[in-house]
Amino acid sequence: MLTLHQAGLETVPALHPLDGTVEPGQLLAIVGPNGAGKSTLLSLLSGFRPCELGNISLDDIPLNQWKIDALTSRRALVAQQEIPGFAWQVEELVSLGSSPGTALLAELLDDLDLIHLARRSVLSLSGGERQRVMIARGACQLLSRHAETARDGGLLLLDEPTSALDIGQQQRLMRQLRRWASRYQMAIVCVLHDLNLANIFADRVWLLHKGKCITQGNPAEVLTPNTVAHTYAAQLQQISGEDAPLLALKA
């Protein structure tokens, strides 16, 4: 679906050329220390910022050749801390510009535990509630145009989607993202700071440091204690988890 061929930026904040792919049905986590270039890379993947080096293609078409209307049916971006400018009701904002059917709208609200907030003004919500609303809106943008005959559910790009959520909502969101990836063959890319969430829920991980992808692969290959400790300049210990080994800070 999405292919990067030596894609990068020379202008600060620079990104070293990167090769990679994002496949339908895959959840990719982009991780790295503060200032590593994660959000900058996401802006390249979305097409909002053009490559200065190499190229990125969506469905074998360079991103810079897509028409806006066509691109919005195949790619949705949810940025950090989006604050709506008007007092829309939750269900109005989720469906804004998408015209989903009643069943899809209800399903997405239920998926993200928003049914009880459907008639509330988004300006009255907590940060975590508003974050879930914006994620539902991104999914609605793609799925309202998704037909049964479509080859996949499009590309959903999320910048720190769990940053305002409590630990229970973080788990529920990540589980739901996995369900969307599987059910709709949606490709989902998340910028994450919580490495344990990436370890448990991601299929693939790209680890960035100082504008360079220093390694990529499955979580077990990338998020090793030695690699993470070196990249983050942190002291860590590995503990056994039910689904995957977890990383914990040393005192």
Task: List the CATH number of the domain containing 235.
Answer: 3.40.50.300
**pLDDT tens digit string along 29-77?**
999 999 999 999 999 999 999 999 999 999 999 999 999 989 999 999 9
Q: Comparing C-alpha atoms, which of 86, 95, 96 is closest to residue 121? A: 86
The structure's pTM equals 0.93
Q: Is the pLDDT of residue 149 over 60?
A: no
Q: Compute the mean pLDDT over every residue in the chain, rounded to the nearest whole number.
A: 92
Look at residue 116 and give its three-state secondary structure. helix
Work out the average pLDDT over 131-146. Answer: 91
**pLDDT tens digit string along 177-207?**
999 999 999 999 999 999 999 999 999 999 9
- Centre a 10 Å sphere on the Cβ of residue 52 and count the other Cβ atoms it contains: 13
Structure tokens at 36: 């590593």
Cβ distance 119 to 89 under 8 Å?
Answer: yes
Give the residue numbers spanning the domain of 224.
Answer: 2-249
The pLDDT value recorded for residue 240 is 67
Q: Is the pLDDT of residue 165 over 80?
A: yes
Q: Is the pLDDT of residue 146 over 80?
A: no
The pLDDT value recorded for residue 147 is 53
- Centre a 10 Å sphere on the Cβ of residue 249 and count the other Cβ atoms it contains: 8
User: Cα dihedral angle (158, 163, 167, 171), rounded to 10 degrees?
Assistant: 0
Q: Is the pLDDT of residue 217 over 80?
A: yes
CA–CA gap between residue 146 and residue 183 (Å, rounded): 12
Instruction: DSSP letter for 16, please.
Output: E
Q: Is the pLDDT of residue 248 over 80?
A: no
Total of domains in the chain: 1
150: amino acid identity, one letter: A
The pLDDT value recorded for residue 228 is 93
The pLDDT value recorded for residue 190 is 98
The pLDDT value recorded for residue 196 is 94
